[in-house]
Homo-oligomer: A and B are copies of this chain.
């Protein structure tokens, strides 16, 4: 079980997959090549191979599913970029900007179809469970994206609603990746479910950390300017906690800041950070994140695998979560 080798394996498989795509219709396949060639950290397919590697000496059985999950993830980005009217993705023009909306819709659809095609190449003994989970997960991700769009229009929003949205939009897919990998590797139903739980809480912790780091992280280490979410009036867990627990004055001030854009960004960031600190939003968000981390580690403990494999999983989780260090 060599997690460090999985990323290169995935990149290699993706290159082969891309090179086997048909040339025509070019307007369908060129956007897929473009999207997949420069592709991020491949976290989800690595999780799928990890799930398999825990239970099997070989991760071969999980390779098609791992690729399928990466394709699905890229499909969601392709369509989300249309819906969010986002000009850039990973520093390059988004597909709908570079081509057009119709081409982005349809090449996204084809990518979604290709993800299911790969998923159906999973081992026959686990195929039914895998497809059941994968199709359910893809539906949940759509629900999460819809809730995210709905929430942008909402005046009030509870923290619980937000947590449910990020669960659907971001946490169920890494969870499914781990479980599907485990099923490919011959895990028992119980152990596969424990890995799902592990992935779900890691996913939640990861997203909560993302919210926290954007405001409180070290810019150099996080790799982007601090306070971006605040300037974009993004409803993060910090904002929702401050609106739920802050003093009446702080709540009103926060609503005012979040109802306008400003020409004095540093002033706004400092004021909002002050509110986050005074209302205990920062500590509370951190507490949420740590609770999910703890639940993730508990799920590892319950797995019926060797202690050395548990240790590898724990280290991997640390690596995923402690991006600051």
Chain A: residues with CB nearer than 8 A to chain B? 22, 25, 27-28, 79, 82-83, 101-103, 105-110, 112-114, 116-117, 119-120, 124, 127-128, 131-132, 134-136, 138-139, 142-143, 145-147, 149-150
Contacts and interface: CB of A to CB of B under 8 A. Distances in A.
B83 A146 contact: no
Contact of A142 (B28, B116, B124, B146): B28
A146 B124 CA distance: 33
Contacts of A22: 143
Given A127-B128, A143-B28, A149-B27, A135 B120 contact: yes
- Grouping DSSP codes into helix (H, G, I), strand (E, B) and loop, the A interface class, with mixed when no group exceeds half, is helix
Q: Which of A79, A113, A114, A147 has the most CB of B within 10 A?
A: A113
A120 B138 CA distance: 13
Given A102-B149, A128-B124, A142 B109 contact: yes
Nearest to A133: B120
A308 to B, nearest CB: 35
Identical chains in the assembly? 2
Contacts of A109: 79, 108-109, 112, 142
A94 to B, nearest CB: 14
Contacts of A27: 146, 149-150
18 contacts: A28-B142, A28-B146, A79-B105, A79-B106, A83-B105, A102-B149, A106-B142, A106-B145, A107-B142, A112-B112, A113-B138, A114-B135, A114-B139, A117-B135, A120-B131, A120-B132, A120-B135, A131-B131
Contacts of A116: 116, 131, 134-135, 138
A237 to B, nearest CB: 20
Given A27-B150, A79-B105, A139 B127 contact: no
A143 B109 CA distance: 10
Contacts of A146: 25, 27-28, 103, 106-107, 110
Given A83-B102, A142-B28, A143-B25, A120 B112 contact: no
Given A28-B142, A112-B113, A117-B139, 7 more contacts: A83-B106, A109-B109, A110-B146, A112-B112, A116-B131, A117-B135, A124-B128
A132 B149 CA distance: 34
A235 to B, nearest CB: 16
Contacts of A143: 22, 25, 28, 110
Enumerate the 10 nearest inter-chain pairs by beta-carbon distance, A residue then B residue, closest first: A120-B131, A117-B135, A113-B138, A110-B142, A28-B146, A25-B146, A83-B102, A116-B135, A113-B139, A116-B116
A110 B114 CA distance: 16
A160 B323 CA distance: 56
Contacts of A101: 82, 101
A135 B150 contact: no
Nearest to A137: B113
A142 B128 contact: no
Nearest to A117: B135
